[in-house]
Each structure stands twice: as C-alpha cells, then as structure tokens.
Amino acid sequence: MAAKTLPPGFQTTLEFPLVAALLGRRSRRFFRGAEILDGVLAYKSQHEHLPLSELEKLLVVTACAGSTGWHNMIYRAELYAPHLSNYAAAAAGRTFPSAAGFHTSRTFFTDDDGVYLVENLDSPPTAEEGDEKGALDLDDVLNTLRGRIRKLREGRLPLPTEVPHVEAHNTWVVNYPGTLLVIPVGDLAQHVLLNLCYMLQNGLVLTDDIHGRSIPGIEHFRSIVDVENTWPITFVEQWSLSELTAELSTSCYAGMLMLQAMGMGGWMLNGIDPFSMLGASGEEGVPGLGFRYDMDDRWPYPNVTGLEGVMEAFCPPHYTDMRAAVEAVCKRKFGPGGPFNPNTPGPWKDSAKVRSAAQVHDERFRSCVALQAQYVFDTFGKFPGTVPSIFVMQYLQAHHLDLEFYDRFYKPGVYLETHAQHMEQWHGETDSHGEAT
C-alpha cells in the first residue's frame, strides 16, 4: 500500500501503546445507525450505518488471524530426549497461541458484502523472518492476508437477530449493517486426535470412564506404552475443549486490542447460538455458515462436522474411518510444509536439522492412536464422543462508534482519543468531536 493512500489513522494505530490498549479495552457496543428502543439508555443514532473500509477490515482480521512467522517449537521432554518434541501440527504461528502448536481453528468473517474465510492455517508465513529486531512489515502482512481471503457467499451471514438465534441482550446490536463479525471456528475432532498423539508420546492411553472399561485391544501395545497409565475419555475431551476455547478466545482478544488502537467500537461475545451460526439450528431460512450436521438418539444436540471443501473435521463422514483421520493428521505434521518436514523452511540457522530431530509417528504408533479414536467413534457414534466435532463459541464484532450516544449518557473518559479522532483520521470528517480521555 502506498503511503500517500493511507489515512492518518493508520500511523496512529502503528504508534498506539500496548499498555493503553490493555487498560483502555472496553466493550463499546453502540454503533452508527444503532437504536435502543426503550429503557434508561433509549437512543436512536442520527447517523447512517458506516461499513468498515477495506483497510480497517484487513487490520481487524489480521489482528484476529494474521500470520506471525515460523514458530519456535517446543524443545525437549525427558521421556524421549534427545528427540525434539513432535506435538505441533502447524509450522507457522498466528497472532494468537494454540496448545502445543496444534492450530486447529479457522477464521471466518462477515460484513455487508459477504461471508469470507481466511485461508492461512497451513500457509507459509508472510515473511520467513523479520528485520534484525524481529519485526515484520505490516504492509507485507496485510497484503499477504488480502490474497488469502476466500469469499464463500455474497451478502451478510444470514442470521436472524432474534431469540433463540441471538441472546436477548444482543438482538439490537449483533451482525447489523455496517458491522464486521469475526467468527473463529475450531476443529475439535482434530484437536483431540492431536492430544491422543501427545498422550502416547508421553506414555498415556485412554480409558473409558463412562462405561468403566479399558479400550479393547490396547493391551497389544504394551511394547510402546504402559497401558495401565491412563487418562479418562471425559477428561481428555474436556481438556481439549478448554484448550481450543483458549485458542478461539485469544484470537478475538487480539482483535479487541487492535480496536482500541484504531479507535473502533466493538466487543467480544459468545451470545450467538452456535448451532444457528454453524447452520445446525434445524430452522428453515437460517443456514448460518452452512456446515453439515448429523443427529443421533445418543446425543443431546446435533453434531456439526464440517463444510465440504472449506473446513472438514478430522472424523467421519469426511474421512472413511478414524485411521484415515490419523493419517491426515500425520500428513499435516510430517508431510510437505509440516513442522517436522526437513524441507520446510524455518527460523533456525540449520532448519532442516532441527525439523528432522523429531520422531516421525511410525506404523505402530499410528495404529495405537487409531485404535483409541475408532473405539470412541464406534462407542459414541461420533468423534469426539462427549464434545462437539466442530466448535464455535467466541466472536468479535467491530463497528464505528456513535460518540453522541456516549457523550449523552456517560462521563468524559468512556472512550479513548483514538475513538474521538477516528472519523477525522480515517474518513476525513472535519466535524468529528468527542470528550475523550
């Protein structure tokens, strides 16, 4: 992007202090074009809805899902030293952390123009390395991300702004014209598979605490693991769910910090029904993201498994069986572009040597993981057995604030100087005002 085409607010964003973003982070929900019909804060905006510009949108999405270069790996564990720890599934990092480098989430977003997917889960980083101080060029990051955005459909995500699709306190504000909604979606099936690999590497296998029995056939793997050293299915799946929730949430939190620097309004939320969002509400006219889902008398809720050609969970029906899903996980880890493939570039002086130092999951290892995973699938009718295959919980909405609402109802200091100056610095409005800090 040429510097002469950039609004002054871009430079302000680059220079905004981290501490100011942390201490100034607030949920600021009232946007241009919004209306609260009644109550103590009843107010109708006198402004039209104002969509985010392309640059504003790119900055928010980059904060939530941008690539940050090759990650540094986890180095050593006593149980299998001197081999490098081989947990990760991605070679590059993103703006948010992921348990053991699993990175099993993808980022969708929607605005007035359409529904989009950020396709950078296993893409090489924007640059193999930053400058001598480790800094990446934001222009490069933004331009690369622009090329990795895939449009899935025209128009805003079809999600009724009413109960039960949206929580009652969000019906007036979520996914309205002019807003940007970022939607991180996690592949919990793959996350649990990667944790089964992690467990086996560290001397653990599953036990079925719900039915009170060991995994049939696990005794055949005594040569590679102590089959009496177990973790319960419910613990492993809940642990995996917690890890994935942290991944989705920190993605949105990174976006929240960017909103403060830019002077944008918005907030993190989980007040959207996950089944409506994914397309599993069962209600005609509410396709959401359009993911496939299945029903079974053994499950209390529909189980969402994926969107064909876009995001498919590592489990049936997208794989013939769990052994095929295990092979796909291993391909991601050890195949071309994977974190443990010697031909994948990296940040080390001898990257091939470092990446080759991890043990490749051999046939016996893969068979042991597949046995456990297939048992869960056969027993519960899905994988994982007690938690969803595809998981969505946290969202980030970004929008342009209506400062007049805040000036009317709040004391000075409710928004930052970046919010007070946003319309002037980003959109050239010369009559912008505000009672900022």
Closest C-alpha among 336, 327, 338, 323 to residue 86: 338
Residue-wise pLDDT tens digits, 56-112? 999 999 999 999 899 999 999 898 999 999 999 999 999 999 999 999 999 999 999
Peptide bond into 384 cis (omega under 30): yes
| pLDDT for the residue numbered 429 | 87
d(CA 111, CA 152): 12
| pLDDT for the residue numbered 140 | 78
Phi, psi of 400 (to 5 degrees): -90, 125
Helices (H) and strands (E) in the chain, counts: 12, 17
pLDDT band at 295 (very low <50, low <70, confident <90, very high): very high
| pLDDT for the residue numbered 72 | 93
Please name every residue paired with 115 in a beta bridge, in sequence order, or none if there are none: 110, 153
Please name every residue paired with 107 in a beta bridge, in sequence order, or none if there are none: 118, 184
Q: Where are the domains of the chain?
A: 51-399
In Å, what is the CA distance from 412 to each residue of 180, 253, 267, 404, 415?
27, 25, 20, 12, 8
- Arithmetic mean of pLDDT, 148-159: 96
- Arithmetic mean of pLDDT, 204-227: 98
Say which amino acid occupies 177.
Answer: P
d(CA 176, CA 306): 26
| pLDDT for the residue numbered 436 | 47
SS3 196: helix
d(CA 341, CA 279): 37
> Is residue 434 a contact partner of residue 420, using CB atoms and an 8 Å limit?
yes
Say which amino acid occupies 32.
Answer: R
Residue-wise pLDDT tens digits, 236-256? 999 999 999 999 999 999 999
Chain mean pLDDT for the chain: 94
pLDDT band at 437 (very low <50, low <70, confident <90, very high): very low
Please name every residue paired with 43 in a beta bridge, in sequence order, or none if there are none: 36
d(CA 326, CA 390): 17
Q: Which two tokens mark 312?
A: 């498919």
**What is the pairing mode between strands 230-232 and 205-208?**
parallel
Closest C-alpha among 6, 11, 12, 119 to residue 67: 119
Q: Is the pLDDT of residue 133 over 90?
A: no
d(CA 166, CA 182): 15
Please state, as a whole number, how many other Cβ atoms lie within 10 Å of the Cβ of residue 148: 16
| pLDDT for the residue numbered 138 | 77
SS3 422: helix
Q: What is the percentage of the chain residues whose pLDDT exceeds 90? A: 89
| pLDDT for the residue numbered 5 | 80
d(CA 254, CA 342): 32
Residue-wise pLDDT tens digits, 188-215? 999 999 999 999 999 999 999 999 999 9
DSSP strands (E only) in 2-73: 35-36, 43-44, 67-70
- Arithmetic mean of pLDDT, 302-309: 97
SS3 82: coil
Q: Which two tokens mark 288?
A: 């959401």
pLDDT band at 4 (very low <50, low <70, confident <90, very high): low
In Å, what is the CA distance from 66 to each residue of 58, 94, 118, 121, 149?
9, 5, 9, 10, 11
pLDDT band at 128 (very low <50, low <70, confident <90, very high): very low
Q: Mapped to the 3 state alphabet, what secondary structure does 333-351 carry? A: HHCCCCCCCCCCCCCCCCH
Please name every residue paired with 208 in a beta bridge, in sequence order, or none if there are none: 213
Return the higher-pLDDT residue of 135 and 352.
352
pLDDT band at 136 (very low <50, low <70, confident <90, very high): low
> Is residue 391 a contact partner of residue 242, using CB atoms and an 8 Å limit?
no
Say which amino acid occupies 252.
Answer: C
Q: Is the pLDDT of residue 382 over 60?
A: yes
